[in-house]
Structure 1
Amino acid sequence: MEEIIWGRRIRAFRKLKGYTQEGFAKELEISVSVLGEIERGNRKPSEELIASVARTLDVTIEELTSIN
């Protein structure tokens, strides 16, 4: 369940900031397939990747975990 929440939040912020999946994956230095798995909730991102996502999107980790 946690994987789904992470994926939805990351995808929402990625789109809000104007990144394509390809462009965002390149910024994070991961493959598009790994990013897709995370966004679909099939893979839980590591703590390091979560920190990198937050930095790249210029949001806090707390914003990524918020379930408003």
Structure 2
Amino acid sequence: MDQERWGRRIKAYRKLKGYTQVEFSDAIGVSLSIVGEIERGKRKPTKEFLERTVETLGVPLVELEPPHEK
């Protein structure tokens, strides 16, 4: 499922950049529960969430996109 792969990649980059979930949710202006749901693959990230994420983490969107299955 794509949203699970999005979540895993977002979580990996968040941790790589040294953010806790609380710090990250504060930085991008969304609730902690939304960050948790996205990272667990229970919710699909919105365009706004992704825009704030790439800005905060300083990574291009292509780095967060899950690889396409062949």
Which range, TM-score by smaller chain? over 0.9
1:56 maps to 56
Larger radius of gyration: 2
More helix by share: 1
Gaps of 5+ in 1: none
- Using the size of structure 2 for normalisation, the TM-score is 0.91
After TM superposition, give the deviation of residue 4 of structure 1 in Å: 0.3
* Residues matched between the structures, number: 67
2:65 is the counterpart of 1:65: yes
Gaps of 5+ in 2: none
After TM superposition, give the deviation of residue 36 of structure 1 in Å: 0.2
Q: Which amino acid aligns with 1:54?
A: V
Identity over aligned residues, as a percent?
A: 49
After TM superposition, give the deviation of residue 66 of structure 1 in Å: 4.7
After TM superposition, give the deviation of residue 51 of structure 1 in Å: 1.2
1:3 maps to 3
Q: Is the 8 A contact 2:6 2:64 kept in 1?
A: yes
- Using the size of structure 1 for normalisation, the TM-score is 0.94
For the aligned residue pairs, the C-alpha RMSD in angstroms reads 0.8
Q: Which amino acid aligns with 1:57?
A: L
1:15 maps to 15
Which whole-Å CA distance do the structure 2 matches of 1:3 and 1:62 have between them? 15
Which whole-Å CA distance do the structure 1 matches of 2:53 and 2:43 have between them? 15
